[in-house]
Amino acid sequence: MARPRSSDERRSEPEPPADVPRRLVVAMTGASGAIYGIRLLEALHDSPVETHLIMSEWARRTIVWETDYRATTVAKLADHVYPEEAMDAPPGSGSFLTDGMVIAPCSMKSLAAIASGLSGNLIHRAADVALKEKRRLVMLVREAPLSVIHIENMLRVARAGAIVSPPVPAFYARPRSLDEMVDHTIGRLLDQFGIDSGLVQRWGGSQPPADDSAAGDASST
């Protein structure tokens, strides 16, 4: 279960007013990797962090293509759900206090819209709000290979304050399954908000094996 850091641990970050719950806007778009958004919602389910979910039309379709979930099942994992057309929903206003926003996964289309400041739907608008209010915006952008347009758009949002975090697996944790790879990525994403989800196998700084023969001998470690 997610454990928000104590105020001591988050000393360097601005504290929200005491009566405002910890809130995250979670957006899912139509890039490959619907499972990232799903695991994020699962990790925050039953935690003290309130989730406000916006799924694009293509996120809904990609969920069905890529996973055994349905969009309606995924929606039940969130505390609040809004259609992408709902421009008048709370996440569309800076006066609605949140800890920030995650877009997982983030398509090149949504990246381009956010990089251009085009608030054409609630996902793009909520991201625009996060940037203008200087709140944390983490974007799990996913495409391969990347065109110069994609890279320039990433640079633009990064310059505006977003954290561009493609879901690239880390192998130092020796993942044994896709689930472990996804969990590690989601755990590191939640680290960005000071939430220790327990999903990360953290690097202990141990010494590498002395030589090749030691590396190949599992019984020696």
Local structure of residue 138 (DSSP, 8 states):
E
Nearer to ligand FMN, 25 or 195 (CB): 25
Q: Of these, 98, 110, 165, 197, which contacts ligand FMN (CB under 6 A)?
A: 110
Q: Is 143 in the site for ligand FMN (CB under 6 A)?
A: yes
d(CA 22, CA 14): 13
Q: Of these, 43, 44, 58, 102, which contacts ligand FMN (CB under 6 A)?
A: 58
In the sheet with 163-164, reading across from the earlier edge strand, the strands are 80-83, 50-55, 23-28, 100-106, 136-141, 163-164
Q: Is 32 in the site for ligand FMN (CB under 6 A)?
A: yes
Nearer to ligand FMN, 31 or 44 (CB): 31
Cα–Cα distances in Å, from 57 out to 33, 36, 63?
15, 17, 10
Q: Is 165 in the site for ligand FMN (CB under 6 A)?
A: no
CB of 109 to ligand FMN, least distance (A): 4
Q: Which residue is nearest to ligand FMN (CB)?
A: 30
The Cβ-side half-sphere exposure at 36, using a 13 Å CA radius, reads 33
Which residues are CB-contacts of 117 (< 8 A; sequence separation ≥ 6)?
A: 128
Q: Is 119 in the site for ligand FMN (CB under 6 A)?
A: no
CB of 114 to ligand FMN, least distance (A): 10
d(CA 195, CA 3): 6
Window of 51-59, 131-139, 168-176, 194-202 that interacts with ligand FMN by CB under 6 A: 51-59
**Bridge partner list, 196:** 3
Q: Is 190 in the site for ligand FMN (CB under 6 A)?
A: no
Cβ(179)–Cβ(188) below 8 Å: no
- Which residues are near ligand FMN by CB under 6 A? 29-32, 56, 58-59, 62, 65, 107-110, 142-143
